[in-house]
Amino acid sequence: MSANKKRPVRRGGKPQPDRPLRSLFIFTLKNPIRKLCIDIVEWKPFEYLILLTIFANCVALAVYTPYPNADSNSTNLSLEKIENVFLGIFTVECVMKIVAYGLFAHPGAYLRNGWNLLDFTIVVIGLISTVLSQIVKEGLDVKALRAFRVLRPLRLVSGVPSLQVVLNSILRAMVPLLHIALLVLFVIIIYAIIGLELFSGKLHSTCYHNVTGDMMPDPHPCGMNESGFMCYTIDVNMVCRDKWIGPNNGITNFDNFGLAMLTVFQCVTLEGWTDVLYYIEDALGNSWQWIYFISMVILGAFFVMNLILGVLSGEFSKEREKAKARGDFHKLREKQQIEEDLRGYLDWITQAEDIEPEGEDRARNQDGKSKVTSETESADRAEGEEGEIRQESWWRKKKKDFDRVNRRMRRACRKAVKSQAFYWLIILLVFFNTVVLATEHYGQPDWLDEFQDYTNFFFVGLFTMEMLLKMYSLGFQGYFVSLFNRFDCFVVIGSIGEIILTKTDVFPPLGVSVLRCVRLLRVFKVTKYWRSLSNLVASLLNSIQSIASLLLLLFLFIVIFALLGMQVFGGKFDFEDTSDKIRSNFDSFWQSLLTVFQILTGEDWNAVMYVGIEAYGGVSSYGVLACVYFIILFICGNCIL
């Protein structure tokens, strides 16, 4: 009875720590509706279904084709209907989680989670935009509200733990990054104010024809006085007049504080800052203006902006140390648990030995008898085996001889492929193959084509023999253990496939050119035999594996901004006064991806921003607000990720 009293009693229906007794002040833990919602939202296939729905929603957003002037097609109309289905699924998920966990008033509630808050905001905005589009058919543009749905792919981060570590490191770095951002903003404000005082209204003069009144082609600022660019150097009839809108349709100037900050930020990013410098020199002359720009670049770009990298590096190191400490702690707990289990097992063994000492003696006697019996049986078995050996057939002897010779040959081949002579032979073959590949050029004679084809057959044959020799000497399992051997096998099979496909004319000429690129992979064979280069390649591959999560997060970031660019600028970059279509646009998903990647690299990102501002009316209207998209994209892509 006392043992039963000490035994802990399991209490049924005890609430979990992260679940309140009531949700929405209505549903208790025993409520069948709430129990059903909890079972569904904590069901693993339901989580996979939501992630699959998010992925399908991203595909639908990517397939959407924006058209100018709010035009559409049948595909876009079908996608809008499918979007309502996605919205319904996410709304049902949101409602079930609110019923299961509660809304906000207690720990563990739905809105206490950041990812749930993001999803709730997107769902509410989607519902509002849908209701407004149904109530007000015309005169209301809900496209800006629907642009928030492109943030939904961020929920994919919650399903990948490695992405959560990277994103948490970035979020924890936000406080020190905010301090650096304030310092950068302070530098930009100071230089914007200085530029406003020195260069305000100086970039609106350019050269006009004195008779026809036509503006000079490819206009740039000119000097109204004797300093700066003189218009008469173009034509004696050219005069400088102060009625030009300014460079880049009036976007690049220091006329007000906002545009001055935008111009300074462009210079700090080191993209097009020399153009701004030359504009100022054309307007004011080549005197002291370089001091302003050189100091701004050194202080803003080389010093302050690089502080961001230091902060991020420190935060990543801290997060890595925390993750390592957590891993060590879990390993220590596992070790302690194993030691406790081992001590319990030893105690049990000790008790068993104390209780049954006589059983051991009986077992020992039985073991002695069994040993005698087994020795007798083994002797009889040995005599039988000797008889079988004497009766062994002729072909089994030949097989043994063949195996013996085969082992000797494999041993000799293994010694050969690991020798120094074989090493230098492969190096020379790779070198000669590279020389032959380098002889290819445009308009080469026919005899060179034949020579390259024959040498290709020769090298493919030699490298195939090398692969087969290694497979024979090391065995299939031993050969494919090495990553370099796998790469060699891939190159050889690709080269053989290239010969077969090109000689049978299966591929068009472009496909043949692509297949011939397989030959270039043979050059990388040298990395296997060059020790220092091999170590460098291995380090590079290991570094790629370590930053795989960061690369995946960067790709997700590019996809989100590409989808957002399609929602905001899709079909907007077609201007009536330009005959050539602007290549950097957001008219399709793939082109939008390319444009976003271009902006991340910093190449002509300001030119894309100028077009985006012009697409919404330029600096004379609210179009200047379009620069916010490009500034956030550049900062997040270059300074944070």
- Which residues are documented as binding site? 271, 603
Residue that has been written with the tokens 């492929």 in this structure? 417
What residue type is 515 in one-letter code? L
Residue that has been written with the tokens 């008469």 in this structure? 232
Count other Cβ atoms within 10 Å, centred on residue 303.
12
Q: Is the distance from CB of 171 to CB of 157 less than 8 angstroms?
A: no
Tokens of 581: 């279509």
Strand partners, 239: 208
Largest CA distance in the chain: 128
Query: Count of alpha carbons within 13 Å of 392, Cβ hemisphere only?
Result: 10
Q: CA distances (Å), 184 to each of 178, 264, 539, in order?
A: 10, 11, 35
Q: Is the distance from CB of 502 to CB of 515 less than 8 angstroms?
A: yes
Least Cα distance to 596 among 565, 627, 626 occurs for: 565
Q: CA distances (Å), 626 to each of 150, 165, 236, 622, 633, in order?
A: 17, 32, 41, 8, 12
Tokens of 99: 């019923």
370/401 Cα distance (integer angstroms): 39
- Coil, helix or strand at residue 224: coil
- Coil, helix or strand at residue 331: helix
604/602 Cα distance (integer angstroms): 6
Count other Cβ atoms within 10 Å, centred on residue 522.
21
- Coil, helix or strand at residue 119: helix
Residues at the binding site for Ca(2+) are 271, 603
Q: H-helix or E-strand containing 238?
A: strand 238-241
Tokens of 245: 């809108």
Count other Cβ atoms within 10 Å, centred on residue 470.
21
Q: CA distances (Å), 411 to each of 397, 405, 474, 490, in order?
A: 21, 10, 9, 25
239/205 Cα distance (integer angstroms): 10
Tokens of 487: 């790469």
What residue type is 382 in one-letter code? A
190/196 Cα distance (integer angstroms): 10
566/64 Cα distance (integer angstroms): 9
Output DSSP code: residue 585: -
What residue type is 94 in one-letter code? C
